[in-house]
Chains A and B, each alone.
Chain A
Amino acid sequence: MDEWKPNPAVKPHKKRSWYLAWKYKLMNQRALRKLCQTGAVLFLLVTVIVNIKLILDTRRAAYEEEEESAQDYDDEMLNVEVPRHPVNNKKVLDVEVYSSRSKVYVAVDGTTVLEDEAREQGRGIHVIVLNQATGHVMAKRVFDTYSPHEDEAMVLFLNMVARGRILIFTIKDEGSFHLKETAKNVLKSLGSQVAPFLSWRDMWTFVGRKGGEVYGEKHAKSPALSTWGDPVLLKTEVHLTSVEDAECHWPDTELNRRRKRFCSKVEGYGSVCSCKDPTPIEFNPDPLKDNKVFDVPVAVIAGNRPNYLYRMLRSLLSAQGVNPQMITVFIDGYYEEPMDVVELFGLSGIQHTPISIKNARVSQHYKASLTATFNLFPDAKFAVVLEEDLDISVDFFSFLSQSIHLLEEDESLYCISAWNDQGYEHTAEDPSLLYRVETMPGLGWVLRKSLYKDELEPKWPTPEKLWDWDMWMRMPEQRKGRECIIPDISRSYHFGIVGLNMNGYFHEAYFKKHKFNTVPNVQLKNVESLRKENYETEIHRLLGEAEVLDHSKNPCEDSFVPDTEGKVYVMFIKMEQEADFTTWTQLAKCLHIWDLDVRGNHKGLWRLFRKKNHFLVVGVPASPYSSKKPSSVTPIYMEPPAKEEGAVAVPAVAAAEQT
């Protein structure tokens, strides 16, 4: 069995979700202690493994180096006979591609365009796309086809690359384990003879023109399961075509000029660069009548995920009532491609030199972006804050336009957010319904300038404090008991799966089943009832109307809620004091909603939908609404499962996966 684990010290990709689970669970003291114990044992184990591996690696590396130099020499000898000068005015590119267990590189005309020898990353198939006329690198991707589903992403990407482009492939470490038939066939259709037979720990390089000739391919088979194929170095030449041949002939308009600039620089955006029928880059959604947020600046916080940014901006610019002139994209770092995307859509972008690391870096980027937003739009009383991995609902601005006056007038409000943490497919129902919650969901929200300028900006965590900005904003010192307004059905959708705190596993469990409004022009119901005092009246009315559920049944069972529609039900759970979320967390777990920390509560009350009925949960006796509990009803108590070592996040994720 052990032999089937390649690179045992490469950490499984689940580690991000572990990190997240930690982050949220750290508040829990007991979990913390357990965690420390587990942590210590794990640490010991890892240290031992790393040390053993280090010894093995050093030996192997020394061996490998000898081999590489030998190979280099060989290739030099062979290459002597190849004519090095361009013939017939055609420009020729020299391309070198290297594939090995621990290092890959690609050099074009002597310039290294890819070099990856970092340990424990960059595993899989590296793909580089060159412009066939200029030789410029248009895209660089790595698909970890040792892991599942990455081959699908690669196929998607390769299909989007325009015909005629030069494609360069090279494998680092392992690239075949989850490389399925479909992907192999795509590679084969590009002209690769080896791809169909690529197997465990083979080394492979390939250079070809999409839909055209093959410039070279090299392959080294792995002799045994426990070892890698020998490093391969491919040296070849690519003939460049004329610029006209490499470009599309779109009508000469302002938009197409932007499109042309974009499409000659980058690849992997599919139909936006299609010659025949390019997808529009201007959307002109219907304007909003009486749009109260037309002059509100929109700050899009971005990193280096240009494809995400592209998807995000498309949805943002398609939302009714959008005002592109108010949008600024803040890019964390000097990355070119996100800026290219921003320019494609004719928006303004600002780059930010990173000044810290990890979470603190994100936090500093947020601060700089917010400050800059209010500097650039000094008249603004609010700013809309978005992230690059969100889809924006078609009625996002309509939703804000109808609710923003509350944020202006009701000082007990902290924010308006487009995201309902508990709004899953099976728990959200009413697009016209709003809630007040004590938590700050983020993911598309409105910030009041006075809150930022007077309170947050002056004491924003400094770079040496490695804090998450959102966690910091949720702390009682900042929130000061204020609440956020959220919709029942979210107006944003979190699609990002590669991020600092995000991976596919985690996304699948907590975000994929989130409900997202697609109905335009939703008229929000009873907005005035969201004001502080009015909301209490509203809640009392609801509780008065609500039917008390049968507390002898198991609340996790579907039958707990009758098969009705449009009714209001209430259940009472045990909640000894304000911070006692024991039962709630268990309930959230079995309802398959957010359970990593407590979200969406208002004075010990949660509101969601079950089977199209409004479903209220009151924590007794901590909630002031406890008085609504009939004396005959005993609040339900749900015990947390007996803690197994290291079982902190797994049950929740596993549960969510079953849905």
Chain B
Amino acid sequence: QNGAGFSKVRGSQSGQDSTRWHVVRKFLGLLSSHNIPVYLIDPLILGLVDKDIEQIRSSPDGPSPECKYFCAPRDFTTFALLDKTWKHEGGLFRTAEKMGFQWLKIINKDPRLDGMDDLSGMEIPLHYIFKLASHAIHLVVFYERSGNFLWHGPLRLKQHMDRKFVPFRKLHFGRYPGAYEKPELLLVSIDDLKVQIPKNPSSFLQEMSHSRFLECRYREARAFFQLYPDDASLDAVEFRKKAKSLLHLAALTLNNLGVKFWLSSGTCLGWYRQCNVIPHSKDVDLGIFIRDYKADIIPAFQKAGLPLKHKFGKVEDSLELSFQGEDDVKLDIFFFYEEDDHIWNGGTQAKSGKKFKYLFPKFTLCWTEFVELKVHVPCETLQYVEANYGPEWKVPVKTWDWKSSPSNVQDNGVWPVDEWDDVIQIY
């Protein structure tokens, strides 16, 4: 009877499209009849919903006087499906066909098995598109990944596929793979349709704009280990274990503070080159934009059981913090300063007060999975690594002098002696 209600709306209000509303309703009916829970992630609708969120939360069942959200004429509406909540049964598609839907499935390799030698699972569905009349539903399949986050795959068409099935370029999801926190959901009634949405639409939209995910280069990492067999000594195993737990602790601490960070220097190289911690690296390196600096960082790490080992520079210039982890493994945090055409971080030699500057081309941040953690890395990783380690970064080097080895190091003068007490603190 709802449908009848809105059919009238169609005539009365121009620019409204009840086709979309009908298709969404049919789609939701189809999925609920197969007990498949989905939630709305359409950024345009969530944007509208976010404006009225208080009202929608307070009246989860209220009838709507007009079709506000699902009637704006669009080519498609986007929903999310958690892979583990359904059984991949063919029945869904047969019912869909009977209801008049045409559907398209985009499958690809399972990235959770990609890191592994020679395993071939079945390909997994990444996206579905259900089309009825002039409207399409884009259903994005989310998978749980190690590191307690959700992942969706890229949408890539295979050769034989109908490239005009929907205007693929306009889809909001699928240009890149994405990483998301597991959302809290809220069941609401909007436009007389019962639908689940992320509890906090605005933070979901925020997350969406920075969701791009980079898979580790597993194949290249395997090739690397062919060339340079992995160090399987007890020391290496122990160091990796400590580095991993230190990184987990650092991520927890910084995430709690809401400070964005990324894998830098040797840790970044380890991820990019071998998808693992480099066993002879002896420390864990993180980068943070100086604009994200918070005074709480030092006390927070101390509280987490990581005492400050040294602090070089100051917030205005060349800040660098180092914390002492378990047995000699240390955590280095470099702060990065953004200029118009490059980004840099600083270094300080304690005994001479000499300053160094490490230059990087501009970069943005992407998510990745590393040692069972969802962390940021520079999206333009190759440039970042090459700036730091030069074109020979693929060859492991055991002796590394941070003052001369990096290819992007520049002398940057000397700290004035009267500032030494402040800019060179060693504990």
Contact = CB atoms under 8 A, between A and B. Distances in A.
A659 B252 CA distance: 61
Given A353-B118, A378-B148, A378-B372, A372 B113 contact: yes
A333 B188 CA distance: 49
Contacts of A22: none
Given A350-B121, A378-B144, A372 B116 contact: yes
Interface in A342-381: 348-355, 368, 371-372, 374-379
Interface residues of B, number: 27
Given A257-B90, A375-B112, A379-B144, A458 B117 contact: no
Interface of B: 84, 87, 89-91, 110, 112-113, 115-122, 144-148, 232, 234, 237, 240-241, 372
A254 B34 CA distance: 14
B148 A459 contact: no
B89 A368 contact: no
Interface string A451-463: 0011000110010
Contacts of B118: 352-355, 368
Contacts of A348: 121-122
29 contacts: A254-B90, A348-B121, A348-B122, A349-B121, A350-B113, A350-B119, A350-B122, A351-B119, A351-B121, A352-B118, A352-B119, A352-B120, A353-B117, A355-B117, A355-B118, A368-B117, A368-B119, A372-B121, A374-B146, A375-B112, A375-B145, A376-B113, A378-B145, A378-B147, A379-B148, A453-B372, A454-B241, A458-B240, A459-B232
Contacts of A459: 232, 234, 237
B87 A325 contact: yes
Contacts of B372: 378, 453
B237 A458 contact: yes
A371 B122 CA distance: 17
Contacts of B146: 374-375, 378
B120 A254 contact: no
A254 B91 contact: yes
Nearest 8 pairs of A and B residues by beta carbon: A353-B118, A378-B146, A350-B121, A375-B112, A458-B237, A351-B120, A459-B237, A378-B144
B232 A462 contact: yes
A368 B116 contact: yes
A349 B118 CA distance: 14
Contact of B116 (A254, A354, A371, A462): A371
A254 B119 contact: no
Given A353-B117, A354-B118, A372-B116, 13 more contacts: A254-B91, A257-B90, A325-B87, A351-B119, A355-B118, A372-B113, A374-B146, A375-B146, A376-B112, A378-B148, A458-B240, A458-B241, A462-B232
A339 to B, nearest CB: 9
Contacts of A351: 119-121
A132 to B, nearest CB: 28
Interface in A203-234: none
A614 B148 CA distance: 47
A377 to B, nearest CB: 8
A375 B372 CA distance: 9
A262 to B, nearest CB: 15
Contacts of B90: 254, 257
A539 to B, nearest CB: 35
Interface in A308-329: 325
Contacts of A372: 112-113, 116, 119, 121
Given A355-B117, A371-B116, A458-B240, A254 B147 contact: no
Contacts of A325: 84, 87
A371 B121 CA distance: 13
